[in-house]
Structure 1
Amino acid sequence: MNLESNYLIIDMAEECYKHDGVLELESGEKLEGFEIAYTTRGHLTTAKDNVIWVIHALTGDAKVEEWWSGLIGEDKFFDPTKHFIVCANLLGSCYGSTNPLSDNPKTGTPYYYDFPNLSTKDIAKSLEHLRQNLGISSIHTLIGGSLGGQVALEWAYLLQEQVKHTVILASNAKTSSWTIGFNETQRMAIEADGTWGQNKPDAGKKGLEAARAIAMLSYRHPEDFTNKQSDKEEKLDGFRISSYLRYQGQKLANRFNAFSYWVLSKAMDSHDLGRGRGGVEKALASIPSKVLAIGVDKDVLFLKEESQFIANHVQKGSYKEIHSSAGHDAFLIEYEQLQYILRSFYLEENEG
């Protein structure tokens, strides 16, 4: 990327944007004000043309250098010495942004089960308010994976010429019945927890553990489990994969909560770029930015064909593929392949 210019230094910061106005939601509900926690890293050029905006996945947060360390950081592909990197905690998430455990201004107590339904379009609209507040007129690259890719695609539609490049990883233009089904089984696990329905921050915690275990089955490919979680000795019980899934469930439940998981999984289900816009193909054709859709060959949750569909229907699209037995999670860990794909994407533009 050719982003060199005169730099106006902005210190690394963890901030919180407070929006006092009403956010009109697709459901017809209203959110009476909201907050978005976000981080900025690096330098903004005087022309403000080097913004890299990253959108995290379902249980991610705004500290992008921690969970995408192989791609973002000093001497990495997106380098804060060259780029101004922004990442916001999504509305509904529990890492500093307004979520079901936030106080409802009407009651002065947490929303809990009264938190409004969010769609990916609603989340994109909240990010648009943040962008305007930051005084960022254009985004050089908007990038996100999974739920983050869905939100990025919605936002790219809203931004139009204000975003130059849109990178969508392991995601889709409309959530498939297959993915909705996986999410529904996870919410059923939460509902089966006897504490779900109580007005307590840790309500549904054991159910969330089970939900995460279910999710892990869709995040990885069977080959990955065979390679990494198979038992070498003969057993009747106490299998390695069982311990692994229980550990992953407990690990998430100790850092996340069932309320945000419920809201954000529902938002993922809602994703349909074509809703109210004449259908998915017409909506994709209305996106003017250069779009790179990256699929994973062994992703069993967001199929590679869904990424190919995006690339084939936007105005300026290209498709690239990650090859990995890690499945859906490959977009978070296959750094060498990602860097090669991204480098080629920008080089092709410069050569063109």
Structure 2
Amino acid sequence: MALSQLTIVSPTNAIQKIALSYEVFGPALGTAPVVVVNHALTGNSNVAGLNGWWTDLIGECKTINTQKFTVLAFNIPGNGYDNEPKNLVVNLKNFTTQTIARYYWTALTALEVKQVYAVIGGSLGGAIAWEMAFLEPNRIQHLIPIATNYKASDWLIGNVFIQESILNNSKQPIQDARKHAMFLYRCPAGINAKFKGDFLADKNEYKVENWLRFHGESLQNRFKLAAYKAMNHLLKTIGASKQESDLKSWAQTFTGKIQLIAVDSDLMFTEAEQNQTFQTIRSFSKSEFATIHSIHGHDAFLIEFEQITKIIKKYF
């Protein structure tokens, strides 16, 4: 689909304006229920179609059927997908997931979308979905955060710190940061099953080393350093000002349904912490909890489409 842009005023700086880019799949806005799909750290607004990163879930006659729903996906400002220089994030101080959620609501209002049928996203995208729900508890019918949580854990913040150190000090920052990140996105069982200790004699390296090198070089070819720094920074801002008491208070005001989805092998947002969130809100909200069983770790939200479909199909 064509990439569109909307100029909006920054919610943190009335002088600053940003060009928020987005894509629409399916019926035109205003003609069908709207499903907002939020992308993850290195993702973008291209969620469906030939090269869409969630094309197994979104499209004609698929789980999120673009014959019935209008799918709207924004680009996080500064992710580089729109090649918009003015969106380059230099000062990260006020660049938070809550800020991004405010951008999205400002854009939705400008697009005359008063009610959103569903907000769904995995990882960072799911965290932004949480932030959107906190800001507007009466405008979302279905909140579906996958492999994420409403608040960053110390484990996640520590890994973001390591990523920052690599990005600021390495001679090949994106490549090296991505190599580290891949082991946070996966898990030991999946890595061991995938490579089985194989050694590539012609390259004089282990297959797992070759795989990490490939992912590092691939990201280097499609991502700018400033963009990676900004997206990585967002992870540690998730729910920065929120406590469990805030979550309880919010759950009593949220009028929609909540479907939490965890991955049992997730090292980035553990199943245990997501289940704790569910236990906190279940008495105050219409909420359900489901687990994806996978050896692929955090990345299961990009891989286990059959399991995700079984969980979310009842909403679509």
TM-score (norm. length: structure 2): 0.90
- Equivalent in the alignment of 1:178: 155
* Deviation of the 1:97 alpha carbon: 7.2
* Deviation of the 1:137 alpha carbon: 1.1
Secondary structure at the aligned position of 1:295 is classed as strand
* Deviation of the 1:232 alpha carbon: 3.9
- Conserved in 2, the CA contact under 8 Å of 1:34 and 1:97? no
- Equivalent in the alignment of 2:11: 23
| Alignment gaps of 5+ in structure 1 | 1-11, 105-110, 195-205, 348-352
Distance (whole Å) between structure 2 residues aligned to residue 271 and residue 38 of structure 1: 22
Q: Which has the larger radius of gyration?
A: 1
Distance of aligned partners of 1:57 and 1:112 in 2 relative to their CA distance in 1, 3 Å threshold: closer
Q: What is the aligned counterpart of 1:239 among 174, 182, 206? A: 206
1:86-145 CA-partner distances (Å, limit 9, x unpaired)? 0010122111276xxx248xxxxxx66446541110000000111011111101111011
Q: What is the aligned counterpart of 1:96 among 82, 86, 90? A: 82
Distance of aligned partners of 1:285 and 1:308 in 2 relative to their CA distance in 1, 3 Å threshold: farther
- Equivalent in the alignment of 2:312: 342
- Conserved in 1, the CA contact under 8 Å of 2:59 and 2:66? yes
* Deviation of the 1:189 alpha carbon: 0.8
* Deviation of the 1:311 alpha carbon: 2.5
Whether 1:56 and 2:39 are equivalent positions in the alignment is yes
Distance of aligned partners of 1:122 and 1:277 in 2 relative to their CA distance in 1, 3 Å threshold: farther
- Matches for 1:139-288 after TM superposition, within 5 Å: 139-194=116-171, 206-232=172-198, 238-272=205-239, 275=242, 279-288=246-255
* Deviation of the 1:240 alpha carbon: 0.8
Identity among equivalent positions (%) equals 28
Q: What is the aligned counterpart of 1:326 among 296, 299, 303? A: 296
Distance of aligned partners of 1:267 and 1:149 in 2 relative to their CA distance in 1, 3 Å threshold: same
Structure 2 letter corresponding to 1:58: L
* Deviation of the 1:333 alpha carbon: 1.2
Count of residues in Structure 1 that have an aligned counterpart in Structure 2: 309
Q: What is the aligned counterpart of 2:3 among 14, 30, 33? A: 14
| Alignment gaps of 5+ in structure 2 | none
* Deviation of the 1:30 alpha carbon: 6.6
Distance (whole Å) between structure 2 residues aligned to residue 293 and residue 112 of structure 1: 31
Distance of aligned partners of 1:325 and 1:135 in 2 relative to their CA distance in 1, 3 Å threshold: same
Q: What is the aligned counterpart of 1:70 among 53, 56, 62? A: 56
Whether 1:35 and 2:19 are equivalent positions in the alignment is yes
- Conserved in 2, the CA contact under 8 Å of 1:44 and 1:50? no
Distance of aligned partners of 1:56 and 1:45 in 2 relative to their CA distance in 1, 3 Å threshold: closer
Whether 1:308 and 2:275 are equivalent positions in the alignment is yes
* Deviation of the 1:231 alpha carbon: 2.9
Structure 1 letter corresponding to 2:311: I
Distance of aligned partners of 1:40 and 1:320 in 2 relative to their CA distance in 1, 3 Å threshold: same
Q: Which has the higher contact order (CA 8 A, sep 6+)?
A: 2
Distance (whole Å) between structure 2 residues aligned to residue 187 and residue 163 of structure 1: 34
- Equivalent in the alignment of 1:87: 73
